[in-house]
Structure 1
């Protein structure tokens, strides 16, 4: 089972990582590079007199292939790690709870992973363009990790817990970090247009969801017994 777990996570992680990297190249990285132009001052949102200056001509991807290769490698490693956690959770659910693992149910597992790791933390700390002011790093990291753990635990209580009490407890655990609130600055000030930031957040989360769904599907596809596929 351990060998099947590892191979399933690796194969699924490679597929999902490549797809996620491709989507980032097309939709996310151009916005990131455009945000860096505002961060460095090469492009301004407004002149000193308040007149608009920015345009919608996003920079190309050429000239930074070393950086792009690192992005591909990061995606492969990251999604393989996520795949290990996902397959391990699937195996635990199958052995202890009797949950049937199929590619279709793998999609649900992938969506659950997306909610726990990406969407729930983004409620308080959305993806940020370069140059976006933010609170101190350590408190944000603590809140981010706590939110992931709380959301995953809460969803597990809802999915596998028995009785209304366990379901309500799971909901409370999910909401706890959101009720506490993420660390934020007292004021808002940034150099990039808010429209660009909103587009960056939407694309980052949307295509992360695609990567997670792909990961969940292929984790279940490679991990499920032959008679379940």
Structure 2
């Protein structure tokens, strides 16, 4: 049984990780790299408030443009001496970064697949067989527990964004994931009004407590870019988790059918 669980988790994790890498490069990496330019100071976004008619004040716009031009000129002057070397090193550096990103995503989703398959095994102990359709639902539930619910308090962050102390955020994230997963499990397989009430309480508790946050908001990247990044991260997460659950469920049903 352990070998079957490991085989199902490994294959499903690799498939989901490769898909996550492709979607990351297609949708998430562009705003991420753009945010890094804002973080380094190579780009500076307009910090004023646009009028109701959508037009900028001429003087403010000119000053902002002048500031961006000056920043661009400084960056160009700073990089002039190393331009030739940068061209030679850009491709290997980018290739290495993409390769490490893909490897990291494969490892992460293999770990998530192991959790899903362990849950499938627990369900089998109680007489519930999980197939591809049930696995799809488990995958969506995993997305809700590990990405969507934590994002309600701790949105995906771009480089250069300020945040609360890392330890407090990690504790809240873990607590939210556990509470959400348990609550969804009780709603799906529990019976009776008390079980439903407990499930709803678990789902709501992390958000009633609240995630650790700063007193104010700050960051070097435009808020519009942060919104695009967060939306794409969650969209990609939903697709990958659905594929992960479906693949793991299909493999698990085949493995257990021969048992």
TM-score, normalized by length of structure 2?
0.81
Q: CA contact under 8 A between 2:4 and 2:255: conserved in structure 1?
A: no
| Alignment correspondent of 1:210 | 239
2:184 is aligned, of 155, 178, 192, to 155
1:114 is aligned, of 131, 140, 143, to 143
- 2: CA distance, partners of 1:137 / 1:68: 26
| Alignment correspondent of 2:11 | 11
Secondary structure of the residue that 1:25 maps to in structure 2?
helix
How big is the shift at 1:184?
0.7
How big is the shift at 1:146?
0.7
- 2: CA distance, partners of 1:183 / 1:93: 35
How big is the shift at 1:50?
4.8
How big is the shift at 1:226?
6.7
Q: Does structure 1 residue 24 correspond to structure 2 residue 24?
A: yes
How big is the shift at 1:100?
2.6
Q: Does structure 1 residue 145 correspond to structure 2 residue 207?
A: no
- 2: CA distance, partners of 1:159 / 1:177: 20
Secondary structure of the residue that 2:152 maps to in structure 1?
helix
> What is the alpha-carbon root mean square deviation over aligned residues?
2.0
TM-score, normalized by length of structure 1?
0.91
How big is the shift at 1:41?
0.6
- Number of matched residues? 222
Q: Does structure 1 residue 179 correspond to structure 2 residue 213?
A: no
Q: Does structure 1 residue 123 correspond to structure 2 residue 152?
A: yes
- 2: CA distance, partners of 1:17 / 1:197: 24
| Alignment correspondent of 1:165 | 194
1:78 is aligned, of 91, 102, 108, to 108
Residue deviations 1:174-211, cap 9 Å, x none? 11011000011111121111111000000000001111
Secondary structure of the residue that 1:221 maps to in structure 2?
helix
- 1: CA distance, partners of 2:243 / 2:44: 38
How big is the shift at 1:128?
0.5
How big is the shift at 1:225?
3.6
| Alignment correspondent of 1:93 | 123
How big is the shift at 1:164?
1.4
| Alignment correspondent of 2:54 | none
Gaps of at least 5 residues in structure 1 are: 55-60
| Alignment correspondent of 1:68 | 98
How big is the shift at 1:47?
7.0
Secondary structure of the residue that 1:157 maps to in structure 2?
helix
Residue deviations 1:92-132, cap 9 Å, x none? 11221x22311111110100000000000000001011001
How big is the shift at 1:46?
2.2
Secondary structure of the residue that 1:64 maps to in structure 2?
helix
